[in-house]
Structure 1
Amino acid sequence: MAEGERIDSAPLISLITINYNQAVVTCDMLESTRQLTYPNFEIIVVDNGSLENPTERIRQGNYPNVTVIVSPDNLGFSGGNNLGLKHAKGDFYFFLNNDTIVTPDLLETLLEPFRRDSTIGVTCPKIRYYDQPNVIQYAGYHPLNSYTGRTWAIGLMEPDKGQHDQSGPTYFAHGAAMMVSQPVLEQVGSLDDSYFLYYEELDWSARIRRAGFQIYYQAEALIYHRESMSVGKMNPMKVYYHTRNRLWFMRRNVTGFPLLVFYLYYFGLAIPKALIQYLIRWQPAYLKAIKDAIIWNLKHTNKQARSASPPLAVTA
């Protein structure tokens, strides 16, 4: 069956979300899915080793088409979504944070670009903050700076006045909400489990783009996001994974002179600056998080870091 025909006939969409000690938040998201107007979707909730099994609470909510998969261990963002994929039956896969609220036409709007262009591999909606419903969190991504390892979301913290209502290709997907086609999984594979938390969608986006697919920002689609509900605004775990995975991402995706400049910048400026801040505030747990993040990278070889695929083109 041709791609256009398959999409026109309302292909099955597998909506995959992760719960970790947030059954009430997850149920709020599931409650919002009642308003979805798309006729053919399933929902897979992966519980990531929560203290309390959410299955009964979700069952009592009588939400449509929901399957709960309980993992005895916390597999992280990557591992949890990959476990959900093993149980998904869809033609498209919609990875959605449990701390989001959907809008009625979200699924069909995210599907529409796939119909127009077979090179599109991922679509992402506009994301606004749940607590500031007219403030943008994501309207696409700026390109990666290969010398600092930084990128940032287009429109971040801007009031939405329609200035980012133009859909189009972008550099990275946002992990809070991304619809992925089956050919991407067949050709690129799934999220990399080594990240556990943070940077995994940036790494996946880089691999997807290298394989010739587009990441597409679909401005007409919209969700609301309660940011950082799972891990909080700042804590040692967040510092550890941000530090560890920023370095890991760069090792996997940048090479040559830009990577050398990044090392000089990261270890000569960024890391010392963070260490000084945590010393002044005397936050030993944060100091240990940075130390452990660097040690983790030292224990993982360049061969492992390069295993994904060829490096990204340099963007200053």
Structure 2
Amino acid sequence: MMEAPKVSIITVNYHQKEVTADLLRSIQACGYSNLEVIIVDNEQSGDNSLFYREFLPNVQVINSSQNLGFAGANNLGMKYASGEFFFFLNNDTELGEGVIETLLEGFSFPGTGAVCPIIRYAENPEKIQFAGFTPIHPLTGRNKLDQFLTNQSWKQSHYFHGAAVMISRDTIAQMGDMPEDYFLYYEELDWSQRLRDLGLKILVSQQVSILHKESISTGKNSPLKVYYQTRNRIYFMRRNAGFYPAFLLFFLLVSFPKNIFSLSRAHAKAFRKGVLDALFYQKTGYTDPVSFSIPR
């Protein structure tokens, strides 16, 4: 009997060790036999290894004194991973029994590059957050979460979700590392594009799901999130869109005035800064979120 392939789970913690502990509990209970788990503790001055090992004894903890962002921290984790498959999981997710085994089955289909589970909201598990992504619209630079199930076991998606995606080591060697320029948001869309440029497919298993406590690190609608989503939306389109001038015209004439006049002061400031950094300062990577605060 062939041994189950080795899977490396990589997750990033950012000042949320109790949340990460919930993930570790679920991994411990998932039952997969050939597994290694790597936590990249982002912007960590100490060492919480003993705490994490209370929940998963063999977990490997990598401490980074710098905030490397989502992509940078995952790339650091990959350097320590030894599995044939890498399973990227947000630390605010919880894994169920049979998820890993089912996702591995997806790679038996020719041309499969990445596989995702269904993602459900932890606070309301009956509600689906992700069952795929629609294409990004060439004018608006936006896409939507597909939240509908079909009567098939598998479905294709244009992009994978960074909260839970499994990719083989060989495929990542072809794609290259996760793009760090974005720092936060849109990096998985860009990485998905790299994968599809190789002619590979992204599959979603409709047989298994995970729970996701969405946006715990950044807040569901924080100025920080508005800044990075705005800046990186423009950056992504500049890198990937065939009709970038048409997108830019639409953005400046429609999206910019709409957001400036409809958002709160703090969110409008973050939006404006995201636009300026993307268009005029060409900034990517980390930006200090403290600058988004507005005094009372």
Normalising by structure 1, report the TM-score: 0.85
Task: Map Cα deviations across residues 112-138 of structure 1 (whole Å, 9 max, x no partner).
Answer: 011232x11100000111000111001
Matched, 1:54 2:36: no
Matched, 1:191 2:183: no
1:299 counterpart SS class: coil
Work out which of the residue numbers 272, 276, 289 in structure 2 matches 1:291: 272
- RMSD of aligned residue pairs (Cα, Å): 1.9
1:168 counterpart SS class: strand
1:133 counterpart SS class: strand
Alignment match, 1:225: 212
Work out which of the residue numbers 177, 182, 186 in structure 1 matches 2:169: 182
Is residue 260–residue 272 contact of structure 2 (8 Å, CA) maintained in 1?
Answer: no
Letter aligned with residue 82 of structure 1: N
Q: How does 1:1-316 map to 2 (within 5 A)?
A: 9-50=3-44, 53-59=47-53, 61-117=54-110, 119-155=111-147, 163=150, 166-255=153-242, 258-278=243-263, 281=264, 283=265, 285-297=266-278, 298-300=280-282
Task: Map Cα deviations across residues 248-279 of structure 1 (whole Å, 9 max, x no partner).
Answer: 01011112xx322211211111121111123x
Letter aligned with residue 120 of structure 1: T
Gap runs ≥5 in structure 2: 285-296
Is residue 21–residue 51 contact of structure 1 (8 Å, CA) maintained in 2?
Answer: no
Distance in 1 (alpha carbons) for counterparts of 2:86 and 2:240: 25
Percent identity between the aligned chains? Answer: 42
Q: Per the alignment, do residues 137 and 63 of structure 1 end up closer, same or farther by CA in structure 2, a change over 3 Å counting?
A: same
Please identify, of 125-134 and 42-51, the stretch whose mean Cα deviation from structure 2 is larger: 42-51
* Per-residue deviation, 1:62: 4.3
* Per-residue deviation, 1:235: 1.6
Gap runs ≥5 in structure 1: 305-316
Aligned residues: 283
Is residue 19–residue 50 contact of structure 1 (8 Å, CA) maintained in 2?
Answer: no
Distance in 1 (alpha carbons) for counterparts of 2:212 and 2:179: 24
2:116 counterpart SS class: strand
